Chains A and B, each alone.
Chain A
Amino acid sequence: MQQLINTLLIGVSIGSIYALMALALVLVWRSTRVVNFAQAGQAILSTYIAWEVVNRSGSFLMAFILAVAIGGLIGGLVESGLMRVLLKHANEGPVAAVAPVIATLGLLAVIRAVVGLIWTNEGKRFESPVSTAGFVIGDATLPFSRLNLLIIVTAAVVMIIFSIIFQKTNLGLALRAAAYNPEIARLSGVRVATTRTIGWIFAGAAGAVAGILVSPNDSLTPNSLDTLLVFGFVAAVIGGLESLIGAVVGGLVLGVGLSFVLIYLGTSLIFPTTFVVLVLILLLKPAGLFGAKGARSA
């Protein structure tokens, strides 16, 4: 029973990080119809910035806020500097359909290389801001630590902020309208191009949060977020790639599922399970659990 609860809690903690990455991918997909593989790169750059600030100032909170803000800025720059030009340019020829995806891959390579040039490829240790020792209840030590709690709380706060923006503000309405039908949104006075940039800014910030939360207590290298990108993608696909709520649910489902696999079956099955889940979802329910109708209302 105790192990069951532990597994569940750890799963929610990993899952909320997946959910944030999935959110980032979904936000970009909704606004631009591109799966942004450079999201891992943008997130790693933000995470390194956070690491640098923590090392210099010692304040995790300041590092977090600064890095997330810069993450958003990077997202905005990528959209206005690269994607906008690209979508304007490349709309003819058989390669047009794959061009944006390839461009994001190129960007991923560039960002990684830049990060490696600045901070070298050696693994950096990102000190956790809070204790990573498990909580002690009675005489039992749980694997669930303060860091896990911090992750869950931070992710929850970010998601609540997002849902308030999307559900309660005019900006959120504009973002939803532009995602639902850009032409009609434009006709009714929504600046679609601006909402697209804002979508990328939010995505950059969400990706940065995911990167910073996943890195403590682990070795930070220019490629250390690759797996997070894949898990985020799988989570987004489970949720339907269109739906923000779907992304969160997808992330949590994947996190808890993998946590069970990890504890009851062993590490070796993490990847095969993820891949099988991805393929099954794509074959059986390509629109995801929250696809089509659900997506439009979120």
Chain B
Amino acid sequence: MHSPKFLKNPNRRRLLFFIFLGWLLLLIGDRVDELRVYQGALIAIYTLAIGSVILLTGYSGQLSIGHGAFMAVGAYAAALTQIYFSPPIIITFLAAVIITAIFGALLGGGAARLSGPYLAGTTLALALGLPTLANQFEFLGGETGLSFDVGFPPERYGFDFTLYKWFFWIAALATLIMFWVMQNILKSRYGRAWKAGRSNQAAAELLGIHVGRRKVLAFTVSAGVAGLAGALLGMISIVSPSAFPLSLSFAIITGAVLAGLTSLAGSILGGLTLVIIPEIAEAISKNVSESEAVSANVPGLITGVLLILTVLFAPNGPAEQWHHHKEKKKLKAKSKGS
């Protein structure tokens, strides 16, 4: 089966790559301690959320600074589905994706007409206000929130298979599958149409691309993916308004910017950074002073400074910048040679 011919097809190669990556992750997940496994799950979730922002902002050119709102919708959708219908866990996650995607489509219908600052402000308002709605309706659980219980890992995995490892498996698997799906969408004509619309709307329209409709589609897909990330986040913590604060939205957009808004593959870099920053902050506050003010504020300080520096010096992300740098060097070497 592993004939070179089989591997020539880029789609199949991508699929194999993702399967290999999943296998590698599972191996790693078996060999590290509980805290790391939990962080691994968190990295997967952030990576997924960042991927959804990159899809929307980097590829389709619409800046959303309120993806925490979509994550909240996904989490509540999952929790409510689980509480009222308790279907198999896979169906719950699918429901979260579909419900959030519908929400995204409705919003995207309006958002597609908005440009830059208007869209950013509208999504900001959404991220700030939507989670507070939970306080107003009884069935959403108020400030204490709902618990989204995916149950214990199946017994056949053995007794030493912990709950966190189970979470990690689910989160990593969901993220891998979603990234595979997103990669395929981006390589399809839809992905190309988004890029075309982002680069030059008029030219794209001349080519017969309905840019508005494509933008709504980007919003829908991005919302669905973010909804899944939110459901996963709800799984490992709790589904409450305070689990989806404005700072979550900011963290996600920070991760996306740090990862480089133009490449989906960079998402993992962003996810890693978001999990590492609080660790660094903790280390700093342990060594400098034990005060709560330091440990609570250093993460914000680091993310803010990183955001500004990235925008100033590597607007397309560190990875892209590095690539650019190498290309320049190559070009220089060539011109010297001739």
A164 contacts chain B at the CB level, 8 A cutoff: no
Query: Which residues of B (243-269) have their CB < 8 Å from a CB of A?
Result: 246, 250, 253-254, 257, 261-262
Identify the closest chain B residue to A25 (Cβ).
B121
Q: Is the CB of A101 within 8 A of B120?
A: yes
A190 contacts chain B at the CB level, 8 A cutoff: no
B155 contacts chain A at the CB level, 8 A cutoff: no
Q: Is the CB of B120 within 8 A of A223?
A: no
Q: Is the CB of A275 within 8 A of B129?
A: yes
Query: In the assembled complex, which residues on chain B have CB atoms less than 8 Å from the CB atom of A35?
Result: 117, 120-121
Query: In the assembled complex, which residues on chain B have CB atoms less than 8 Å from the CB atom of A275?
Result: 125-126, 129
Q: Is the CB of A117 within 8 A of B297?
A: yes
Query: In the assembled complex, which residues on chain A have CB atoms less than 8 Å from the CB atom of B132?
Result: 271
Query: Which residues of A (96-146) have their CB < 8 Å from a CB of B?
Result: 96-103, 105-114, 116-117, 120-121
Query: In the assembled complex, which residues on chain A have CB atoms less than 8 Å from the CB atom of B311?
Result: 86, 90, 95, 99-100, 102-103, 106
A234 contacts chain B at the CB level, 8 A cutoff: yes
Known contacts A82-B308, A109-B307, A223-B246, A95 near B117 by CB under 8 Å:
no
Query: In the assembled complex, which residues on chain B have CB atoms less than 8 Å from the CB atom of A120?
Result: 291-293
Of the candidates B58, B136, B298, which one forms a contact with A113 in the assembled complex, judged by CB atoms under 8 Å apart? B298
B304 contacts chain A at the CB level, 8 A cutoff: yes
Known contacts A97-B61, A99-B315, A282-B113, A108 near B304 by CB under 8 Å:
yes
Of the candidate stretches A150-158, A175-183, A211-219, A225-233, the one touching chain B is A225-233
Known contacts A95-B316, A223-B246, A279-B110, A105 near B253 by CB under 8 Å:
yes
Chain A 274-288, CB-CB to B under 8 Å as 1, else 0, gives 110011001100100
- Once bound together, how far apart are the Cα atoms of A29 and B199, in whole Å? 24
B301 contacts chain A at the CB level, 8 A cutoff: yes
Of the candidates B63, B122, B301, B308, which one forms a contact with A278 in the assembled complex, judged by CB atoms under 8 Å apart? B122
Number of interface residues of B (CB under 8 A): 54
Query: In the assembled complex, which residues on chain A have CB atoms less than 8 Å from the CB atom of B254?
Result: 105-106, 109
Query: In the assembled complex, which residues on chain B have CB atoms less than 8 Å from the CB atom of A1?
Result: none
Query: Which residues of B (277-335) have their CB < 8 Å from a CB of A?
Result: 291-294, 296-301, 303-308, 311-313, 315-316
A94 contacts chain B at the CB level, 8 A cutoff: yes
- Once bound together, how far apart are the Cα atoms of A204 and B291, in whole Å? 31
A85 contacts chain B at the CB level, 8 A cutoff: yes
A189 contacts chain B at the CB level, 8 A cutoff: no
A53 contacts chain B at the CB level, 8 A cutoff: no
Query: In the assembled complex, which residues on chain A have CB atoms less than 8 Å from the CB atom of B129?
Result: 230, 271-272, 274-275
- Once bound together, how far apart are the Cα atoms of A283 and B118, in whole Å? 11
A188 contacts chain B at the CB level, 8 A cutoff: no
B185 contacts chain A at the CB level, 8 A cutoff: no
Identify the closest chain A residue to B107 (Cβ).
A279
B198 contacts chain A at the CB level, 8 A cutoff: yes
Chain B 182-218, CB-CB to A under 8 Å as 1, else 0, gives 0000000000000000110000000000000000000
- Once bound together, how far apart are the Cα atoms of A99 and B312, in whole Å? 8
Query: Which residues of B (94-136) have their CB < 8 Å from a CB of A?
Result: 110, 113-114, 116-118, 120-122, 124-126, 128-130, 132-133, 135-136
Q: Is the CB of B250 within 8 A of A105?
A: yes
Total contacts A-B at CB 8 Å: 167
B229 contacts chain A at the CB level, 8 A cutoff: no
Known contacts A226-B246, A233-B121, A272-B133, A106 near B305 by CB under 8 Å:
yes
**Least Cβ distance of A84 to chain B in Å?**
11
- Once bound together, how far apart are the Cα atoms of A29 and B117, in whole Å? 10
- Once bound together, how far apart are the Cα atoms of A34 and B118, in whole Å? 11
Known contacts A98-B116, A105-B250, A234 near B125 by CB under 8 Å:
yes
Query: In the assembled complex, which residues on chain B have CB atoms less than 8 Å from the CB atom of A256?
Result: none
Q: Is the CB of A102 within 8 A of B300?
A: no
Query: In the assembled complex, which residues on chain A have CB atoms less than 8 Å from the CB atom of B303?
Result: 106, 109
Chain B 54-83, CB-CB to A under 8 Å as 1, else 0, gives 000110010101000000000000000000
Query: In the assembled complex, which residues on chain A have CB atoms less than 8 Å from the CB atom of B198?
Result: 94
Q: Is the CB of B124 within 8 A of A233?
A: yes
**Least Cβ distance of A166 to chain B in Å?**
22
Q: Is the CB of B199 within 8 A of A94?
A: yes
Q: Which 9 A-B pairs have the closest CB atoms?
A: A106-B307, A109-B304, A110-B304, A271-B129, A113-B301, A113-B300, A116-B297, A268-B136, A35-B117
B residues neighboring A (CB under 8 Å): 57-58, 61, 63, 65, 110, 113-114, 116-118, 120-122, 124-126, 128-130, 132-133, 135-136, 198-199, 246, 250, 253-254, 257, 261-262, 291-294, 296-301, 303-308, 311-313, 315-316
Beyond the given pairs A95-B315, A98-B261, 11 more chain A to chain B contacts, judged by CB atoms under 8 angstroms and listed by A's residue number, are A94-B262, A97-B61, A98-B57, A105-B65, A110-B304, A112-B304, A113-B300, A117-B301, A222-B297, A271-B130, A275-B129
